[in-house]
């Protein structure tokens, strides 16, 4: 998933970005309401974030006001609030303003990752945590992949590419969309990185696992079960 992390605490923000990246997410980290507004609300659909992790106490404004502006502009990006505000009234206000989930700091990284997976399943209309495309089964929680009855060992980047394809069953995913799914603003990318990941996935999953749509991108062969 491509995530926007809105957190002004430097130490916590760095830890969350590192942990979420290790979990296979592309993370853009901003530290103020103004930066978040530019990256998410002003950019609108062009930002293409899969979810936003939002602190409420920002140095230049309220995260709650930021969320309300996004919903007023019909931005449906899932939002998970992560804040030190632990009163029941604060939780109710956050959820009623349009948040999809609410966590109280200190945040456990494993729980945050699990809640993001749950949000993703709801948005995709999936109840089963395992994504099955043809004979390929992916469990994002355990980061395990099976083809038929055989386990497949993938690197973090290879798994991220596979998930980006699996989350759009039957749809051709462009090179630009894969880059957005894998890399945050501050991460460098080699010009042939996506081609290398696709090549490695075909080597490990089988040459027939991924179809190339020349000039358009790639898609997983087979349909979701």
Determine the pLDDT at residue 47: 61
Q: Count of CB atoms within 10 A of residue 52's CB?
A: 26
Residues 6 or more apart whose CB falls under 8 angstroms from that of 39 comprise 4, 28, 30, 47
DSSP bridge pairs for 147: 136, 150
Instruction: Report the distance separating Cα 85 and Cα 176, nearest Å.
Output: 38
Give residue-wise pLDDT tens across range 33-62. Answer: 999 999 888 776 656 789 999 999 999 999
Fold identical between 2-124 and 131-220?
no
CATH annotation of 131-220: 1.10.10.10
Instruction: Report the distance separating Cα 79 and Cα 97, nearest Å.
Output: 10
Q: Of 129, 156, 132, which Cα lies nearest the Cα of 141?
A: 129
Determine the pLDDT at residue 191: 77
CA 64, 67, 73, 76 dihedral sign is negative
Domain extent listing, the chain: 2-124, 131-220
Instruction: Report the distance separating Cα 139 and Cα 131, nearest Å.
Output: 6
Determine the pLDDT at residue 213: 87
Q: Does the predicted model carry a pTM greater than 0.75?
A: yes
Q: Would you give the end-to-end CA distance of the chain in angstroms?
A: 21
Determine the pLDDT at residue 225: 43
For every one of its 225 residues, what pLDDT tens digit does the chain have, with 9 covering 90 and above?
Answer: 889 999 999 999 999 999 998 888 889 999 999 999 998 887 766 567 899 999 999 999 999 999 999 999 899 999 999 999 999 999 999 999 999 999 999 999 999 999 999 998 888 888 888 999 889 999 998 999 999 999 999 998 899 999 999 988 888 999 988 988 888 776 777 778 999 999 999 999 999 999 998 889 999 986 544
Instruction: Report the distance separating Cα 87 and Cα 214, nearest Å.
Output: 54
Determine the pLDDT at residue 125: 82
Determine the pLDDT at residue 187: 72
CATH fold, domain 2-124, is Rossmann fold (3.40.50)
């Amino acid at each position: 998933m491509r995530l926007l992390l809105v957190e002004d605490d430097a130490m916590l923000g760095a830890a969350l970005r590192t942990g979420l990246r290790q979990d296979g997410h592309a993370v853009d980290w901003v530290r103020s309401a103004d930066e978040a507004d530019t990256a998410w609300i002003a950019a609108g659909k062009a930002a293409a974030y899969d979810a936003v992790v939002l602190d409420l106490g920002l140095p230049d404004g309220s995260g709650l006001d930021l969320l309300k502006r996004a919903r007023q502009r019909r931005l449906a990006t899932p939002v998970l609030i992560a804040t030190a505000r632990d009163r029941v009234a604060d939780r109710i206000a956050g959820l009623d303003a349009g948040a999809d989930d609410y966590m109280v700091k200190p945040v456990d990284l494993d729980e945050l990752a699990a809640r993001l997976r749950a949000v993703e399943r709801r948005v995709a209309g999936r109840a089963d945590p395992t994504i099955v495309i043809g004979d390929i089964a992916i469990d994002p929680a355990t980061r395990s992949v099976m083809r038929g009855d055989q386990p497949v060992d993938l690197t973090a980047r290879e798994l991220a590419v596979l998930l980006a394809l699996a989350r759009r069953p039957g749809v051709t995913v462009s090179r630009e969309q894969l880059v957005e799914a894998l890399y945050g603003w501050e991460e460098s990318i080699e010009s042939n990185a996506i081609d290398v990941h696709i090549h490695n996935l075909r080597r490990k999953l089988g040459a027939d696992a991924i179809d190339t749509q020349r000039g358009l991108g790639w898609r997983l062969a087979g349909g979701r079960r």
